[in-house]
A and B are shown apart, each in its own frame.
Chain A
Amino acid sequence: MSCSSSDDTIEYQAIPKDLEIPQLFSNLLLPPTIPSDNPQTIEGVTLGRKLFYEPLLSGDGTQACANCHLSENSFTDSDRFSTGITGAIGTRNAMPLYNMAWNFEENFLWDGGAKSLEEQVSDPIENVIEMNNTWPNVVATLQSTSIYPELFTQAFGSSTITKELVTKAIAQFERTIISGNSRFDQYLLGDQNTVTVSEIRGFNIFMDEERGDCFHCHGSNSNPIWTDNIFHNNGLDSSFADLGLGGITGDPLDNGKFKSPSLRNLAFTAPYMHDGRFETLDEVINHYSEGLVYSETIDPLMKNIAEGGAQLTEVDKADLKAFLLSLSDPGFTINPDFQNPN
């Protein structure tokens, strides 16, 4: 690392920091997506983690990203809808944050409204029902502190703070939030003792087109992201208060479609669905088993719509639930690398 000084710009070279890629991911998946204009560095990740937990990003200095994306909940909110600084209530459940660098389509948010992780970081700060701030105010606030100009210098070689650099730093941190060490991951890596017979039966139900058929949307042992990151109408409603993808594209054929979430860490991410309508996994499974509702844009993969769903037996439901929970990783939620450094 070399330094020279000229005005407030110092030649400073941050130290590259590779992502800690789980073995299954490196075995089975394409390399993670790192934008060329925002490479991962130690200093960038350190700064981004501090900013993720920084309430100064909000209009009244009380709310950080972490207030709605809690580490103990796999970086989602246990409240159905999050509350912004004005007391306004949101309309969608906060999405959990992990394995973002493997979202190769780079359609972020439930409706694909953000086309990069950096863009997704930007939105909540100015959203009036969330952090209700302005970017000029965020920049000025951080610039006025005794700490942040130096941290930005270390990360990006400039003490002049900009919106772009703030979002880049937070995105760098978010890319390090990786979950890939559940019991089922360990099973796939060869440890036969980490899962139960019921969980294996549940996996078979998950992979069986005639029963759960979950794998067409939610990945598999060959795609351990456990989502296809594609938008589907999964039969929740006959009409839509929330258009989802259709609200972004303007195409009626996209109405009611939302991005398949990853099935990792379901033990920590309740409530479920884009609007958090299901408080328990039992409700989720019951929906796909008997609760499908027809609409014009329902995905054809909801193959049993005429019967209301897959009509799973109670034993199948229990096994499927057991398998889904085996994808949860308690160690992820307490990983010290993701906790509040402030």
Chain B
Amino acid sequence: MKKHILIIVIIIGLVSCSSDDGNQPIPDILISVTNSQNWDSENVTASDLGTTEFTDENGEILIIERLRYLISKVILTNSYGDEIEIGNYKLVDLTDNNTLNYATNIVVPPGTYTGISFVYGFNEEDNMDQVYLDLNTASWNWPEMLGGGYHFMQLDGTFTSPTNQSPLPFNYHNGTARISEGVFEQNFIRVNVDGLSIDSNTNIDIKMNLAEWFKNPKTWDLNVLNTGLMGNYDAQREMNENGQSVFSVYLGD
């Protein structure tokens, strides 16, 4: 039977030990989780904002001005199926290095961890209106008329294309999908990564490949879908489909 163990964020430096056969204590494991961004493996950082040109699958040339997105419910699973929740949520802001660290030196019991899952955005249980004071303060709310709760992502910038050389804005904003007035559909993405083998101190990097938002499975045409996307049900669902391949996990020391 799976046991679900919730661990609250632990202050750096606390390490407790368990014992195997009573001879040598088995140290707990320190887990850190970070968030990084790339465009088809080319790192994307704050220095790229407003300057670097990216070419999407449809041939548009993008310049990103702003990127913020939400990661929540990061859960480690060990070889016995026990789940350990790490942290709560993080609003990642490319301009703020502090937000690129989801959790630092979290103590987890010894063992082998074989899987990690997380939610892009908030799941239905967590996506409650106005309950997170820091997200309210960051103006991260998703309008009530569109389902309430919070944005999942704000990706803003400009683009040009072979048919349009004058830069036009795009606001790739993602959250709950509105089917019709007062009728909404959950639109978060739960990412599950299995086949890991974590048995020592490890940094888990959750990577976002921005290019995937524009290409897989739907080739995104910014000439058609650029702004006013929040209330566009089809666009929101296509973001969800493309989002399935956006995230990957990298294990480091």
Measured CB to CB, the closest approach of chain A to B228, in angstroms, equals 5
- Total count of chain B residues near the partner, CB < 8 A: 32
The majority secondary structure among interface residues of chain B is mixed
| A300 lies within 8 A of B134 (CB) | no
Q: Is A325 an interface residue (CB 8 A)?
A: no
Contacts of B173 in A (CB 8 A): 209
Q: Is A301 an interface residue (CB 8 A)?
A: yes
| A301 lies within 8 A of B141 (CB) | no
| B157 lies within 8 A of A300 (CB) | yes
| B157 lies within 8 A of A209 (CB) | no
| A306 lies within 8 A of B156 (CB) | no
Query: Known contacts being A28-B130, A222-B129, is A210 close to B228, with CB within 8 Å?
Result: yes
Contact residues of B between 131 and 157, Cβ < 8 Å to A = 133-134, 136-139, 141, 143-145, 156-157
| B65 lies within 8 A of A299 (CB) | yes
- The residue in chain B whose Cβ has the minimal distance to the Cβ of A208 is B145
Q: Is B160 an interface residue (CB 8 A)?
A: no
- Total count of chain A residues near the partner, CB < 8 A: 32
- Stretch from B83-91, B164-172, B188-196 contacting the other chain: B164-172
Q: Is A110 an interface residue (CB 8 A)?
A: no
Measured CB to CB, the closest approach of chain B to A40, in angstroms, equals 20
- The residue in chain B whose Cβ has the minimal distance to the Cβ of A225 is B137
| B51 lies within 8 A of A253 (CB) | yes
- The residue in chain A whose Cβ has the minimal distance to the Cβ of B168 is A306
Q: Is A192 an interface residue (CB 8 A)?
A: no
- The residue in chain A whose Cβ has the minimal distance to the Cβ of B142 is A222
Contacts of B166 in A (CB 8 A): 306
- The distance in angstroms between the C-alpha atoms of A221 and B143, with both chains bound, is 9
Which of B145, B170, B171, B231 contacts A204 (CB under 8 A)? B145
- Stretch from A164-172, A212-220, A315-323 contacting the other chain: A212-220
- The distance in angstroms between the C-alpha atoms of A298 and B230, with both chains bound, is 21
Q: Is A104 an interface residue (CB 8 A)?
A: yes
Contacts of A221 in B (CB 8 A): 144
Q: Is A303 an interface residue (CB 8 A)?
A: yes
| A207 lies within 8 A of B145 (CB) | yes
| B143 lies within 8 A of A207 (CB) | yes
Instruction: Among A104, A207, A219, A300, find the residue whose CB has the most chain B CB atoms closer than 10 A.
Output: A300
Which of B143, B158, B228 contacts A300 (CB under 8 A)? B158
| A215 lies within 8 A of B171 (CB) | no
Q: Is B50 an interface residue (CB 8 A)?
A: yes
Contacts of A217 in B (CB 8 A): 139
- The distance in angstroms between the C-alpha atoms of A220 and B151, with both chains bound, is 14
| A209 lies within 8 A of B137 (CB) | no
| B169 lies within 8 A of A223 (CB) | no
Closest 8 CB pairs of A and B: A300-B169, A303-B227, A222-B141, A300-B156, A253-B50, A209-B230, A228-B139, A207-B143
- Chain A to chain B contacts (Cβ below 8 Å), 10 pairs: A102-B137, A104-B137, A210-B228, A221-B144, A222-B130, A222-B136, A223-B137, A300-B66, A301-B156, A305-B169
Q: Which residues of A contact B (CB under 8 A)?
A: 27-30, 102, 104, 204, 207-210, 215-217, 219-223, 225, 228, 253, 297-306
